[in-house]
Structure 1
Amino acid sequence: MKNISRLRYFIYLSLIIIGGCTTGKNALQKGDYDSSVEKSVSRLQNSPKNSEAMQVLKTAYDLALKDHLRKIDEAKMSNDLFRWESVMYDYQKINQLADNINSCPACLAIVPNPTRYISELAESKYNAAAARYGSGLGYLRENNRLSAKKAYYEFEKVLNLQPDYKDAKTRMDDAYWAAVTRVVVQPIIVNSGMYKLSADYFQQQIDQFIGNYSRNKFVLFYGEEQATKQKIVPDQVLSLNFDDFIVGQTYVKERVEKLKRDSVVIGETRDKKPVYGKVKATLSIFEKNISSSGLLDMSITDWKTRKLVRQQKFPGTFIWRDSWASFNGDDRALSKEQLAITRRKEQLPPPPSALFLEFTKPIYKQLVDDIGYFYNNY
C-alpha cells in the first residue's frame, strides 16, 4: 500500500510540473514572456477551459507587449546606426504574439484584440534598409577590395529588407565586381613529348578544380585561354612550373641467402626405410625499385605591381617495386614462401608517362589544398 501511495504522489507531482510547463507558468516566472504566451496558447488550443493557462496568457501577454514596446522606445532613442533593425525585430515579435492568439478561439476570449503594428513594422524595415544602404555607399567610397566586400553584404541586407529599395541591386553588383579577385592560371609547360599526355592530364585535373571552385564567391579563376578570349584583365596570375623531375630512376638490389634444412628424406635403404640427411640451396632475391619524383613550384603574382603574393613548392614521389628470385641447389631447402617467389618472373615496369602521372598525384593534392587554404577566405 505504501508503494502505491508513493507512486500516486509522484504521478500527481509530475502532473503539476508538466501542467506548469505546458501552461507557460514556469516561463512566466522566469521572465520569458513570449515563450509563456506561446505555451499558454498551445495549451488552450488543446484544452480551452484550462483556468491556469487562461490566467497565464492574460498576464504574460500584457507583460510581453510592454516589454517589447519598452525595447522599441529605447532603440529609437539610441545612437546606433542600425537601431531600426532592433525596432523591426520587436514589432515582428509583437505581431507574432497577435497571430498566435488569433489562431486560438479560446485565447481571443482572454485577449479580444491583440495589438498588431503593420505600418510601424513597414516603416522600421524601410528605415533599416536606408541605414544599410547608406553604410554600403560609405564602404564603396573607400574604393578598396575589402571595403567593397563589406558594401556587397550591406546591399544584400538592404534587398532582404526592401527588395526594390532604390538602386540597391545595381549597387550590390558594382560592389561585387569591385571586390572580386580575378586569377588567371597559366598552363604548365613540360618540354618533353614523352610526357605530354601525362602533363596534359595533370593540367586537366587542375583546370577541373579551378572550374568547379565555389568556396569564395569573391575569387574567380580563369584558364589562360579563357582569359584571352574574354579579354579578362587579371588581378593575380598563378603560375605552375616543375623545378625538376626525374622519371624511372632504377635501383636493383640482390640479396643472397645460404639455406639448409636437416632431417629431410634424401633416399631409402634396400628394405625401403627412409634415409634422412641435409639439403642445401643458395637463394638469390632481387628487388627492383623505380623511383620517379618532381618538385612543382607555385607562384602567385600581383598583375599590377608584379610583386610576389605567395610562393609554395610541392614535392611528389612514386616508387614502383618488383621482386623475384632464383636458386641453385635442392629446392627442399626452401620454404613455401621462398619457393613461391622463385616462380615469379621479373615484371616490365609501367611506361615513363604512367610513372610521371603517378608522382604528380600527391603534388596535385597538396596544390589544391594550398590554393583552397589561400583563397577560401581571401
Structure 2
Amino acid sequence: MKNISRLRYFIYLSLIILGGCTTGKNALQKGDYDTSVAKAVGRLQNSPKNSEARQVLNTAYQLALQDHLRKIDEAKLSNDLFRWESVMYDYQKINQLADDINTCPACLVVVPSPVKYIKELADSRYNAAVARYNSGIAYLGERNRQSAKKAYYEFEKVQNLQPNYKDVKTKMDDAFWAAVTRVVVQPIVLNRGPYKLSGDYFQQQIDEFISNYSRNKFVIFYPEDQATNEKIIPDQVLSLNFDDFVVGQTYVKERVEKLKRDSIIIGETRDKKAVYGTVKATLSIFEKNISSSGLLDMTITDWQSRKIINQQKFPGTYVWRDSWASYQGDDRALNKNQLAMTRRKEIMPPPPDALFLEFTKPIYSQLVDHISSFYNSY
C-alpha cells in the first residue's frame, strides 16, 4: 500500500510540474515572457477553460508588452548607428504576440485587443535601411577591396529591408565589382609530344575546377584565353608549370628461393607401397616497378607589382607494379600461391601518357585544396 501511495504522489507531482511547463508558468517565473505567452496560447488552444493558462497569459502578455516597449525606448535614445534594427526587432516581437493571440479564441477572452504596431514597424524598417545604406556608401568611399566587401554586405541588408530603396541595386553591383579579385589562370605549357594528350586532360580538370569555384563570391577565375578575349585586367595571375617530371623509370628485381617439401610420394615399392621422400625446386620471382613522378610549381603573382603573393610546389608519384615467376625442379615443392605465380606471364605496362596522367592525380588533389584554402576567405 505504501508503494502505491508513493506512486500516486509522484504521478500527481509530475502532473503539477508538467502543467506548469505547458501553461507557461515556469517561463513566466524566469522572466521569459514571450515564451510564457506562446506556451499559454498553445495550452488554451487545446484546453480553452484552463484557468492557470488564462492567468499566465494575462500576466505574461502585459509584462512582455512592457518589456519590448521599454527596449524600444532605450534603443531610440542610444547612439548606436543601427539602433533601428533593435527597434524593428522588438516591434516584430510585439506583433507576433498579437498574431498568436488572434489565432486563439479562448485567448481573446483574456486579451481582447492585443496591440499591433504596423506603421511603427514599417517606419523602423525604413530607418534601418537608411542607416545601412549610409554605412555602405561610407565603406564604398574608402576605395579598397575589404571596405568594398563590407559595403556589399551593407547594401545586401538594405535589399532585405527595403528592396527598392534608392539605387541600392546599382550600389550593390558597384560594391561587388570593387571587391572582386580577378585571377587569370595561365595554361600549363607541355612541349613533350607523348604526354600532350594527358597534359590537356590535366588542364581540362583545372579549367573545370576554376569554372565551378563558388566558395568565395569575391574571387573570379578566368582562363587566359577568356581574359584576353574579354579584355579582362587581372588583379592576380596564377601560373602552373612542371619543374620536372619523369615517366617510366623501370626497376626489375629477381629473387631466388630454394624450396623443398618432405613426406611427398616419390614412387612405390614392388608390392605397391608408397615411397616418401623430399622434392626440391628453385623458384625465381620477378618484380617490375615502373615509377613516374613530377613536381608542379604553382605561383600567384600580383599583376601590378609583379610580386609573388603565394608559391607552392606539389609532388606526385605513381608506381605501376607487375610480378611473375618461373621455377626449375619438381613443382610439388611449390605451394598454391607460388605455383599460380609461375603461370603468370609478364604483362605490358600502360603507355607513357597513361602513366603521366596517373602521377598528376595526387598533384591535382593537392593543387585544388591549396587554391581553395588560399582563396576561400580571401
Task: Give yes or no for TM over 0.5.
Answer: yes
Q: Structure 1 residue 219: deviation in Å?
A: 0.7
Q: Which residue does 2:299 correspond to in 1?
A: 299
- Measure the CA separation in 1 of the matches of 2:105 and 2:267: 108
Map 1:1-378; keep pairs closer than 5 Å. Answer: 1-378=1-378
Secondary structure, counterpart of 2:89 in structure 1? helix
Query: % of aligned pairs identical?
Result: 81
- Measure the CA separation in 2 of the matches of 1:265 and 1:101: 98
Q: Structure 1 residue 240: deviation in Å?
A: 0.5
- Measure the CA separation in 2 of the matches of 1:266 and 1:101: 101
- Measure the CA separation in 2 of the matches of 1:17 and 1:83: 40
Q: Structure 1 residue 5: deviation in Å?
A: 2.3
Secondary structure, counterpart of 1:187 in structure 2? coil
- Measure the CA separation in 2 of the matches of 1:58 and 1:149: 48
- Measure the CA separation in 2 of the matches of 1:228 and 1:124: 49
Q: Structure 1 residue 95: deviation in Å?
A: 0.8
- Measure the CA separation in 2 of the matches of 1:263 and 1:50: 94
1:324-355 CA distances to partner (integer Å, 9 max, x unpaired)?
11111121222221111111101100000100
Once the two structures are overlaid, the 10-residue window that deviates more, 150-159 or 109-118, is: 109-118
- Measure the CA separation in 2 of the matches of 1:101 and 1:337: 81
- What is the alpha-carbon root mean square deviation over aligned residues? 1.0
Secondary structure, counterpart of 1:215 in structure 2? coil
Q: Structure 1 residue 55: deviation in Å?
A: 1.1
Unaligned 5+ residue runs, structure 1? none
Amino acid at match of 1:336: K
TM-score, with structure 2 as normaliser: 0.98
Once the two structures are overlaid, the 10-residue window that deviates more, 265-274 or 247-256, is: 265-274
Q: Structure 1 residue 138: deviation in Å?
A: 0.8
- Measure the CA separation in 1 of the matches of 2:98 and 2:345: 86
Amino acid at match of 1:319: V
Amino acid at match of 1:243: D
Unaligned 5+ residue runs, structure 2? none
Q: Structure 1 residue 163: deviation in Å?
A: 0.8
- Measure the CA separation in 2 of the matches of 1:275 and 1:107: 105
TM-score, with structure 1 as normaliser: 0.98
Secondary structure, counterpart of 1:312 in structure 2? strand
1:343-376 CA distances to partner (integer Å, 9 max, x unpaired)?
1101100000100000000000000000100011
How many residues of Structure 1 are paired with residues of Structure 2 in the alignment?
A: 378
1:87-112 CA distances to partner (integer Å, 9 max, x unpaired)?
11001111111111111122112111
Q: Structure 1 residue 68: deviation in Å?
A: 0.6
- Measure the CA separation in 2 of the matches of 1:256 and 1:16: 86
Secondary structure, counterpart of 2:110 in structure 1? coil
Amino acid at match of 1:11: I
1:147-186 CA distances to partner (integer Å, 9 max, x unpaired)?
1000000000011111111111110100000001111111
- Measure the CA separation in 2 of the matches of 1:245 and 1:100: 70
Once the two structures are overlaid, the 10-residue window that deviates more, 305-314 or 103-112, is: 103-112
- Measure the CA separation in 2 of the matches of 1:261 and 1:7: 79
Amino acid at match of 1:208: E
Secondary structure, counterpart of 1:109 in structure 2? helix
- Measure the CA separation in 1 of the matches of 2:264 and 2:16: 90
